[in-house]
Amino acid sequence: MTLEADCPLKMYEEHHDLADYQSGVPRWCSGCGDNAILTAMQRLCRDHNLRPEKTAFISGIGCSSRLPHYMRAYGFHSIHGRALPVAEGVKMARPDLDVFVVTGDGDCCSIGSAHWIHALRYNMNLTVVLHDNHVYGLTKKQASPTSPRGLKSNTTPRGAYLEALNPLTVTLGVQNVSFVAQAVDWIPETLYDILDAAFRHRGLSFVRVIQRCSEFLPKLFDPWLRDPQKVQLLTHEGALKPSAGLAAVYKNQLDHDPADMNRAREIASLEDPIPVGILYRNPDVPCYEDLRLSDKVRNAETIRAGLEAEFDRFTVWPGGKRTQRGRAQGGNADDANGSDG
């Protein structure tokens, strides 16, 4: 008996509503765009009927990284900049879990940038959401790599000296990138649709959400909020299809095929209007966890045997002779693991 969808035992599956994914009252300021992302996440979990005990939210440090506290699921509020490697470890050990990564522009694009690049290249099946409020919120208005040039902040009192880093163009430049999208927190419908597409994509899906910080940059996005023409919806058959109501408000639309990398890179460079939609999607990039999939069973005995074999290679025996086995085995720890030694 296998427990696939058609199995009678699975008919007992539980259904969840939004409240089943809510936990605690967010400590975010009112007006903060993180609220919109949280709501979209909870809707996504509900609509996919994700089992809370099979879902993990991994974050770094920052206001945005508090999100796992507010999701009733497994969470790991990890260390600054290290959400991605932690999530990769979780996914590697438990490929059966749905793993989400929550990170901020400081967390991801500053201290965590090395992990960011390599996570893209590993292309593990993770849904990564970058809450990009263009500022370090938690540390009270310090400039982040995505802060606009000239932004006066606690760390740049004379205005930020450098051009902002564009997370989209960076991402699209990394080998093996397989899904890149951009959303804005103030259009909940597309935010949800993009997260949904990201979740369905097998591979690392990177979603940058332009997010308002009502406390430190309350006016930054006002021009875009006021003028829907300053948002360009990327539509395409099989990608994003706005509802009639939304299309009536956001008339500035561009048909873009997410399979087209060159076009995606051009669109990624646009700052005004802000492109919103799926820029790039390639379902054929292999996932690292699949490439490394092993049918070796790891239990106490095989792990012990693997470790013994590994230690044997370095054992110095009284009388000075090393084991033959150690020498013959060469240096491949992978092979020693899980084999009989």
Partner 1 sequence: MQTMRMEATVDVQAVDPPVFYATGKQPAGAAPARLWPAALAPYRDLANLRFDFPLILTSGKAGAPVISLSDAVNAVLQEIAPPGRDGETLRRTVLRIERAVRKRAAGGAKGTLSEMWAAAAANLEEAARSEAQKAWAALGLDGTVLDCHQGTAAILMAHLWSAAQNEKARQFLATAAKLSAALSGILRADYLRSAEGRSPQSLQAAMGGALQSLFDFSEMSALLPKATARDALPESRRRRLAWALAVLEQQRFFAVPGKAHAPANEPYGFRFDNCGEALAAYRARLPELTELVKAMAVAELEIDGAYNEGRHDAYFSGFDAGSLRAEDRARFPDYLLVLGDESEPFDNTGVLAVLSSGIPLKIVLNVGDLATGDDPAALGVRSTDIATLAAALGNVFVLQSAGSNLYALHERLSRGLAFAGPALFSVYAPPATAHLPAYLAAAAAMQSRAFPAFTYDPGAGSDLASRFSLENNPQPEADWTTSVLEYADGDLQRVRQEVAFTFVDFLACDPRQLHHFAVAPAGYDRLAPAAEAIGVPSRSAVPFVAVSDADNRLARLIADERAVDAARRCLEKWHRLQELGGVHNSHAERLLERERKAWEERAPQASAAEAAPPSAPVAVAEAPVTEAPAEVERAPGDAFIETPRCSSCNECTQINSRMFAYNGDKQAYIADVKAGSFAQLVEAAENCQIGIIHPGKPVNLAESGLEALIERAGPFQ
Q: Is residue 85 at the binding interface for ligand TPP, with CB under 6 A as the rule?
A: no
Nearest CA to 328 among 316, 317, 312?
312
Q: Is residue 35 at the binding interface for ligand TPP, with CB under 6 A as the rule?
A: no
Please identify which residue in 165, 174, 225, 305 interacts with partner 1, judged by CB under 8 A. Answer: 225
Q: Are 146 and 137 in contact (CB under 8 A)?
A: no
Question: Which strands, in side-by-side order, build the sheet including 127-132?
Answer: 74-77, 55-59, 98-104, 127-132, 205-210, 179-184, 274-281, 231-235, 253-255
Q: Which stretch binds partner 1 (CB under 8 A): 140-148, 180-188, 196-204, 263-271?
A: 180-188
Phi, psi of 58 (to 5 degrees): -115, 130
- The CB-of-277 to ligand TPP minimum distance in angstroms stands at 23
For residue 177, give every residue at least 6 positions away whose Cβ sits within 8 Å of its Cβ, in sequence order, or none.
120, 121, 123, 171, 204, 206, 280, 282, 285
Q: Are 47 and 89 in contact (CB under 8 A)?
A: no
Please identify which residue in 45, 57, 97, 107 interacts with ligand TPP, judged by CB under 6 A. Answer: 107
Q: Which of residues 7-26 bind ligand TPP (CB under 6 A)?
A: none
Q: Is residue 63 at the binding interface for ligand TPP, with CB under 6 A as the rule?
A: yes
With 0-12 / 13-18 / 19 or more C-beta atoms within 10 angstroms meaning exposed / middle / buried, residue 145 is: buried
Using the structure block, give the residue that is written with the tokens 């974050």: 59
Q: Which of residues 110-139 bind ligand TPP (CB under 6 A)?
A: 111, 131, 133, 135-139
Q: Which is nearer to ligand TPP, 16 or 131 (CB)?
A: 131
Q: Is residue 105 at the binding interface for ligand TPP, with CB under 6 A as the rule?
A: yes
Q: Is residue 183 at the binding interface for ligand TPP, with CB under 6 A as the rule?
A: no
Residue 31's binding partner out of ligand TPP, partner 1, none, with CB under 5 to 8 Å set by partner kind: partner 1
Q: Which of residues 239-278 bind partner 1 (CB under 8 A)?
A: 243-246, 248-249
Structure tokens at 226: 């006021």
For the chain, the first-to-last Cα distance in angstroms comes to 34
Residues contributing to the site for ligand TPP (CB under 6 A): 61-64, 80, 104-107, 111, 131, 133, 135-139, 144
Binding site for partner 1 (CB under 8 A): 1-3, 9, 12, 17-18, 26, 30-33, 35-36, 38-39, 42-43, 51, 53-54, 96, 185-189, 212, 214, 222, 225-226, 243-246, 248-249, 295, 297-300
